[in-house]
Structure formats: C-alpha cells, structure tokens
Amino acid sequence: MGMPEQQQMTRYLLGGLPEDESIRLEQRFFTDKDCFEQLLALEDELMYDYLRAELPAGDRARFEQRFLNTGPQRQKAQFAGDLLQRIGRAPESGWWRPAIRFSLAAAALVLLVFPTWMTLRLRRDLERPLIPPPPRTTMVLSIALTPGQVRGDAEPKRIRIPADIDFVQFQLERRGKADYQRYRAAIRTAEGTEVWSEDGVPTLAVRLPAQLLPPNDYELTLQGRAPGGALEDAGDYYFTVSSR
C-alpha cells in the first residue's frame, strides 16, 4: 500500500475525508478484499498508537471523537492503555516472556478493535449482492412395468427409491390391442389404500412424487376411456418399494 493511499485511509478512519471520497473508498472496501484487509490493519495500528500515546495531538482528538464517543468506550480505552503501559514496563524474563507480552497486548487491542471491525464486516456483508444458488436439477427415477402379474402368483417388481429422487415415472406396457386416447391410473397399497390417482393421462407414462411411495407393496390399476366415455380395464401392475 502506497503512502498516499495509506494517508487517505487514515483520514477516512479519523473522519477527515470528504464525503464523496469516503463513499468511493467504502465502495472499494465492499468489492476489494485486499483493500478492506489493509484498512483493518491500519486501524489496528491507529489503536495501538493511541493506546501508547504516540498519536499526534490532532489525530488523537479525532480518534477519540470517532471511536471513543461514549462512556463505556472511554473506559475500555483507559483500561487497555493501562494494560499496555504495564506490559511495556514489565521485565522480559521468567514467566513474563515476549510471547506472553504479545498475547496481552493483543487482548488490549481487541477491547477496541473488535466492535469497530465487526461493524465494518457487517456493513461489507450487507452490501455484498446476494447470489442465488444454482437451480437444483429435478431427479426422476424411471421404472418399466409389465401388466398381468398377479400378486402371489409371481414375484412383483422390486424397486428402491434413492433419497435424492423427486419423482417416480412408470413406463407401462400396454395389454391387448385396444388403443385409448386417455387413461385413468391409480395406485393403492396392498391394504387397499389409494395413495395416488390421475384421470386423463394421455400416454402410458405416469409420474408421481417419490414421497408418496414409502416402502410397501403396491398395485397400479390402469383403465382406458372408451369413445363413449366408459372406463375399461387396461392392465394391473404390481410392484414393491423396498427400503434397501
């Protein structure tokens, strides 16, 4: 980061940047991660210099007006400053080794840095445009069924429906030579409970939500609608949905 850019960010943090320049800089923070991280690092330096009483008088006054404008904030700053002074006077021997000194200095800075950093982070997240997730592909399991299998006379077709399947589509083989323009299809459990039906099906392919078919034995009854409107049997199909 060049010196002019660093000076501009410092003026922004201390509230000394014109409004139009502040808006342009904030827009850059929202789109440029590196620039935003540089701002946070510079803010850390300002906090540290303030706590060590190393800021020029003018910058110190602007810092207090910008960051320490409430009683609780001033109390935190006083406590953090006292802690840093004690750290600076402590001997670098025994348990008070450099690693401990650094950890405590960091803790003192967190007292001031964390609230401001969190505010900027939240502002940046709120300004970031929301990108919707890509649409999920509808998953369809296609099953071919043959008519004429009587329950108990032959083993019904066994199927397993994976958890990510949205719909089950049955491709039905036609029985006989009759060709109907419309069909009525219904699915019942072995106990006779109807779980799905549809009238006016134009083809021999029926689709229903997979959640309607928990593990059980089922019968799919197909009827064709004759020209006069009457329903005629067109086939019975048996299948079993297994859990494995």
User: Which of the listed residues 74, 97, 127 is the one where a domain comes to its end?
Assistant: 127
Instruction: Report pLDDT for 141.
Output: 95
pLDDT for the residue numbered 169: 96
CA distance 226 to 231: 6
Strand ranges inside 82-193, DSSP E:
140-145, 157-160, 167-172, 183-189
| 109 and 37 part of one domain | yes
Determine the structural domain holding residue 99 and report its residue range. 3-127
Is pTM beyond 0.75 here?
Answer: no
* Same domain flag for 121 and 84: yes
The contacts of residue 75 (CB under 8 Å, 6+ apart) are: none
Mean pLDDT for back-to-back runs of 10 residues, the chain (244 residues): 73 83 82 82 76 78 71 53 51 46 49 49 54 83 82 76 94 80 93 93 92 95 89 91 82
Q: How many domains does the chain have?
A: 2
- Boundary (domain end) residue, out of 64, 96, 127: 127
21, 121: one domain:
yes
Shared domain for 197 and 111, answered yes or no, is: no
Residue 41 lies in a domain: yes
Within this chain, do residues 30 and 106 fall inside the same structural domain, yes or no? yes
CATH number at residue 184: 2.60.40.10
